[in-house]
Amino acid sequence: MINVLIVDDSAFVREFLSKVISEDKELNVVATCQDPYKAVEVINSKTKIDVITLDLEMPRMDGLTFLEKLMSQKPIPVVVCSSIAEEGSENAMKALELGAVEVITKPKMGLRDFFEEEKYRIHDAVKSAARTNMNILRSSVKRIKTFKPTVSGSSQSSGDSGHLLARTTNKLIAIGASTGGTIALREVLTRLPKTTTGIIITQHMPEGFTKSFAENLNSECEIDVMESDDNLKVMMGTAMIAKGNTHLEIVRSGAYFVSKVVRDKGLVNRHKPSVDVMFDSVAQNVGKNALAILLTGMGKDGAVGLKTIKDAGGTTIAQNEASCVVYGMPKAAVELGAADYVMDLNEIVKMIIDFHD
Please report the sign of the dihedral spanned by the C-alpha atoms of residue 268, residue 270, residue 274, residue 276: negative
Q: What number of other Cβ atoms are within 10 A of residue 27's Cβ? A: 20
Active site residue 301: yes
Q: What is d(CA 171, CA 272) in angstroms, rounded to the nearest whole number?
A: 25
Active site residue 247: no
The answer for residues whose C-beta is within 8 angstroms of residue 344's C-beta and 6 or more apart is: 319, 320, 322, 323
Q: What is d(CA 1, CA 5) in angstroms, rounded to the nearest whole number?
A: 13
Choose the catalytic residue: 8, 50, 280, 301. Answer: 301
Do residues 280 and 250 touch, judged by C-beta distance below 8 A? no
3-class secondary structure, 275: helix
Q: What is d(CA 258, CA 261) in angstroms, rounded to the nearest whole number?
A: 10
Choose the catalytic residue: 55, 89, 154, 204. Answer: 204
The answer for residues whose C-beta is within 8 angstroms of residue 134's C-beta and 6 or more apart is: 75, 76, 77
Choose the catalytic residue: 178, 212, 274, 281. Answer: 178
| Beta pairing partners, 54 | 7, 80
Q: Which residues are catalytic?
A: 178, 204, 301
